Structure 1
Amino acid sequence: MNPLNLDAAVQEAVEVNRADRWQVYLRLQDLGIPCECPSDQPLRVQIQSATAAMQLWSVVKQLTASRQDLVEWLERCFDR
């Protein structure tokens, strides 16, 4: 795995529990967002755009929010 290029974008350490970290990593990879998941360290994500930041937020929220929070969030989206 190649280290992230810090000159190209902002690098964020994302704190998610160990069980969810790999799922977040794989989903971000699917979305084409550069990231790395070293053992026993926080997930590191390279944010290159506002879209990438929103996708990161969405992926983490889907895995960490309660079902009720997600239902309420979705209902608010449809109310607009």
Structure 2
Amino acid sequence: MNQSSLNSPVGQVVTVSRCDRWQVYQRLQELGVQCWCAGDGTLSVEVQTVGEAVQLRSVIQHLTAARSELIDWLDLCWQLKA
């Protein structure tokens, strides 16, 4: 894989429920991740870096995961840091 393909922006259409879509959009805007809502109701996100991909995953996980999953994830992060 060449360097230019690593730096190329990747567009991703994200399927998010209507009630969560605005929260995802707002949070990604706060994080500086390019995103927009299309006329058909889909949320499109332009992921340019690995960091933005991680941010997208984190925002989606925060809104869709069960509380117990989030607690387990946090516990795992604390264990890895120690």
TM over 0.5: yes
Off by >2 Å, runs of 4+ in structure 1: 38-41
Partner residue in 1 for 2:3? none
Gaps of 5+ in 1: 1-7
**TM-score of the two chains, using structure 1 as the length reference:** 0.86
Partner residue in 1 for 2:44? 44
Give the CA RMSD over aligned residues: 1.1
User: What are the superposed Cα offsets for residues 1-49 of structure 1, whole Å, 9 maximum, x if unpaired?
Assistant: xxxxxxx511000111110001000000000100001243220000000
Gaps of 5+ in 2: 1-7
**How many pairs are equivalent?**
73
Higher helix share: 2
**TM-score of the two chains, using structure 2 as the length reference:** 0.84
Partner residue in 1 for 2:68? 68
Structure of greater Rg: 2
* Identity across the alignment (%): 47
Partner residue in 2 for 1:55? 55
